[in-house]
Amino acid sequence: MSKSDSEISNKKHLCFCVKIHTMSKEMQLKITISIIIILLGTSGVLGYLFYTTHKNNISEIQTLNDIILNTESTLTQKEHDITFLHEAFQREQERNNDLEERVQEAEDVLGIIVKIQNTDKELLQKYSKVYFLNEHYQPEKLRKISDKYIDDSREQEQYIHSNTWPFLKDMIDEAEDDNVDLQIISAFRSFDEQTNLKSSYAVSYGSGANTFSADQGYSEHQLGTTIDLTTKELSGSYTSFATSYAYEWMLANAHKYGFTLSYPEGNAYYQYEPWHWRFVGKNLATYLHRKNLHFYDLDQREIDEYLVEMFD
Residue range 70-83, pLDDT digits in tens: 877 787 887 787 88
The answer to whether the beta carbons of residues 223 and 123 sit under 8 Å apart is: yes
Average pLDDT over residues 245-273: 95
User: What are the two backbone dihedrals, phi and then psi, of residue 273, each rounded to the nearest 5 degrees?
Assistant: -130, 80
In angstroms, the CA 90 to CA 246 distance is: 61
Q: Determine the 3-state secondary structure of 155 from DSSP.
A: coil
In angstroms, the CA 280 to CA 307 distance is: 8
> pLDDT above 90 covers what percent of the chain?
41
In angstroms, the CA 159 to CA 176 distance is: 21
Specify the pLDDT at position 125: 92
Q: How far apart, in Å, do the first and last CA atoms of the chain sit?
A: 156
Residue 287: CB atoms within 10 A of its CB come to 17
Residue 281 has pLDDT above 70, yes or no: yes
Confidence bin at 112 (pLDDT 50/70/90): low
In angstroms, the CA 17 to CA 177 distance is: 144
Residue 156: CB atoms within 10 A of its CB come to 8
Confidence bin at 92 (pLDDT 50/70/90): confident
Angle in degrees, 0-180, between the axes of helices 165-177 and 245-253, rounded to the nearest 10: 130
The CATH class, in words, for 120-309 is alpha beta
Q: Determine the 3-state secondary structure of 125 from DSSP.
A: coil
Neighbouring-strand partners of residue 230: 183
Residue 209 has pLDDT above 50, yes or no: no
Residue range 11-32, pLDDT digits in tens: 555 555 555 555 566 777 777 7
Residue range 165-189, pLDDT digits in tens: 999 999 999 999 999 999 999 999 9
Which residue, among 254, 292, 298, has the nearest Cα to 276 in the 3D structure? 254
Dihedral (CA of 88, 92, 93, 97) sign = positive
Per DSSP, 132 falls in state: -
The answer to whether the beta carbons of residues 244 and 231 sit under 8 Å apart is: yes
- How is 162-197 classified by DSSP, letter by letter? TTTHHHHHHHHHHHHHTT--EEEEE----HHHHHHH
In angstroms, the CA 185 to CA 149 distance is: 9
> Would the pTM of this model clear 0.85, i.e. be above it?
no
